[in-house]
């Protein structure tokens, strides 16, 4: 594809298709998983993302073409070191995201150029301790680097993490890194002063570990699936006083519902903007939440609601923009009079969905956390023409379900489907829809998909390794 010869009207009015592989962890579980991204290109040729997994299809001449294009990409994502040699030819971008397992000379040159903004280090059979140490050693010189994500046991590199302290890192994910309390004590001393986002999910942090946590200027903190209890929450709340924390996400089997009462106090609800609690709240905590929600700054809330609280909660939640309702019962769905938010994520049964859909006034509906299947689609198609939905997220559909959805779906802006059951027949049906953006994860070979792309579209297909 010669990018320089594309007519301007084509860039303004047509749609680009991007086909990319998922991250290496998911690829290790499924032989072939691919994602199609459709993104309309605006008059200024702004493209939201371009994904470049291992580019066997791009040669050096293609990259020279890229160098001459005055496009500005919001982000460019690279998950193969073989692409590092193409860095000099990359178009302008706000974010250059690199997923690294190991380093090589090409990456060393990329470090010298100081153009990487985000680095993801996956858990993979190819990830080496030396490569992680090299990256951490280089963070102080990478002045544009803002985000690091590590999915790797870090107890042996806590000393190397000290390099982060003087970096410009604002986002750090240590999700599933085998962090215990003693490790967190060492890590907390190494956190950058500018850090705004920290994800410590899927570790072994207890109340003791939370007491070591330094919030600094942190705005978002995710502690899901750790082992803290009431004492840990009290430590956290004491540290929140005077902090800049705006988002907290908590999920653990070790919490009693009453343990969350300090977090739901009036003071902290006026401070927080986003809160996710995956535990049932006791009566005192729920009353505290309902009484203070109208006066709070919370615009995004995720929680489990028992049926007796659903009505007073919804009356108090006028300020909410995003609502996540986990494990909503059929009885609660019957009691609901109306839910009016911009974005709603539901965990609900097929019967509950049938009951609650006519009561929704929403722009975005997410059903990904359900094992959706075609039974959900049948219910959804029954009501969707009456809903003013602009974005829709669905899971595990068959070709028959997609055909049914396509026949009932009104014009929407964004459709996301994640399914290992879909075949090329279902994809053909999806490609006939009038969509601004389609995001599809499936098991269909991209070479097969290429044959069925509609005529008249500019096509850029990138294949994974």
Mean residue pLDDT of the chain comes to 76
**What's the pLDDT tens digit per position in 161-174?**
888 998 999 999 99
**What's the pLDDT tens digit per position in 381-424?**
999 988 989 999 998 888 999 999 888 888 887 888 888 788 88
Examine the pLDDT at 27 and tell me if it is beyond 60.
no
Which has the higher per-residue pLDDT, 208 or 412?
208
**Region of poorest pLDDT, from 72-81, 130-139, 355-364:** 72-81
pTM for this predicted structure: 0.79
Backbone dihedral region of 414: left (phi > 0), alpha (psi from -120 to 50 degrees) or beta? beta
**What's the pLDDT tens digit per position in 32-86?**
333 444 333 222 222 334 444 333 333 344 444 444 444 444 556 665 555 566 5
pLDDT at 346: 93
Q: Which CATH class is domain 104-432?
A: alpha beta
For residue 294, CA distances in Å to 129, 244, 314, 319 come to: 49, 21, 10, 7
Examine the pLDDT at 20 and tell me if it is beyond 50.
no
- In which band, very low, low, confident or very high, does the pLDDT at 353 lie, cut at 50, 70 and 90? very high
Helix (H, G, I), strand (E, B) or coil at 339: strand
pLDDT at 450: 60
The residue extents of the domains of the chain are 104-432
Write phi, then psi, for 10 (nearest 5 degrees): -70, -40
**Region of poorest pLDDT, from 134-138, 270-274, 298-302, 340-344:** 134-138
pLDDT at 144: 87
pLDDT at 317: 92
Which has the higher per-residue pLDDT, 432 or 220?
220
Token couple for 269: 């609800």
CB atoms within 10 A of CB 137: 12
pLDDT at 311: 94
Contacts 24+ apart (CB under 8 A), 408-417: 408/380, 408/381, 408/384, 409/381, 409/384, 409/433, 410/384, 410/385, 413/437, 414/364, 414/390, 414/438, 414/439, 415/391, 415/439, 416/368, 416/391, 416/392, 416/440, 417/441, 417/442
């Amino acid at each position: 594809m010669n990018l320089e010869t594309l007519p301007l009207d084509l860039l303004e009015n047509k749609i680009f298709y991007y086909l990319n592989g998922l991250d290496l962890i998911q690829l290790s579980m499924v032989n072939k998983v691919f994602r199609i991204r459709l993104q309309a290109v605006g008059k200024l040729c702004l493209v939201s993302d371009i994904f470049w997994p291992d580019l066997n299809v791009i040669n050096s001449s293609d990259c020279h073409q890229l160098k001459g294009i005055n496009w500005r990409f919001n982000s460019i994502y690279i998950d193969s070191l073989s692409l590092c040699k193409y860095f000099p030819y990359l178009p302008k971008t706000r974010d250059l995201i690199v997923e690294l397992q190991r380093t090589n000379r090409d990456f060393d040159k990329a470090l010298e150029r100081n153009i990487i903004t985000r680095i993801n280090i996956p858990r993979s059979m190819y990830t080496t301790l030396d490569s992680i140490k090299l990256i951490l050693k280089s963070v102080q010189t990478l002045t544009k680097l803002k985000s690091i994500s590590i999915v790797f046991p870090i107890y042996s590199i806590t000393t190397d993490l000290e390099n982060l302290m003087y970096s410009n890192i604002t986002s750090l994910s240590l999700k599933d890194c085998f962090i215990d309390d003693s490790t967190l004590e060492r890590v907390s001393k190494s956190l950058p002063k500018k850090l705004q986002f920290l994800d410590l999910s899927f570790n072994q942090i207890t109340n003791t570990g939370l007491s070591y946590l330094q919030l600094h200027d942190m705005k978002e903190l995710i502690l899901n699936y750790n082992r803290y209890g009431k004492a840990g929450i009290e430590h956290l709340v004491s540290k929140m006083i005077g902090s800049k924390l705006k988002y907290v996400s908590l999920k653990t089997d070790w919490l009693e519902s009453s343990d969350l009462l300090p977090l739901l106090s009036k003071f902290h609800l006026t401070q927080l903007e986003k809160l996710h609690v995956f535990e049932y709240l006791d009566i005192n905590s729920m009353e505290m939440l309902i009484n203070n929600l109208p006066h709070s700054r919370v615009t995004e809330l995720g929680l489990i609601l028992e049926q007796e609280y659903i009505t007073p909660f919804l009356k108090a939640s006028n300020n909410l923009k995003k609502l996540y309702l986990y494990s909503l019962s059929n009885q609660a769905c019957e009691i609901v009079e109306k839910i009016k938010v911009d974005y709603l994520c539901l965990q609900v049964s097929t019967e509950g969905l049938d009951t609650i859909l006519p009561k929704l006034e929403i722009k975005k509906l997410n059903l990904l956390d359900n094992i959706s299947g075609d039974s959900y689609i049948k219910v959804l198609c029954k009501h969707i023409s009456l809903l003013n939905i602009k974005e829709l997220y669905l899971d595990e559909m068959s070709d028959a379900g997609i055909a049914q959805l396509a026949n009932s779906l009104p014009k929407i802006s964004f459709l996301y489907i994640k399914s290992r059951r879909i075949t090329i027949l279902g994809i053909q049906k999806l490609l006939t829809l009038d969509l601004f953006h389609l995001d599809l994860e499936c098991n269909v070979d991209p070479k097969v998909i290429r044959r069925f792309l509609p005529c008249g579209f500019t096509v850029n297909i990138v294949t994974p390794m």
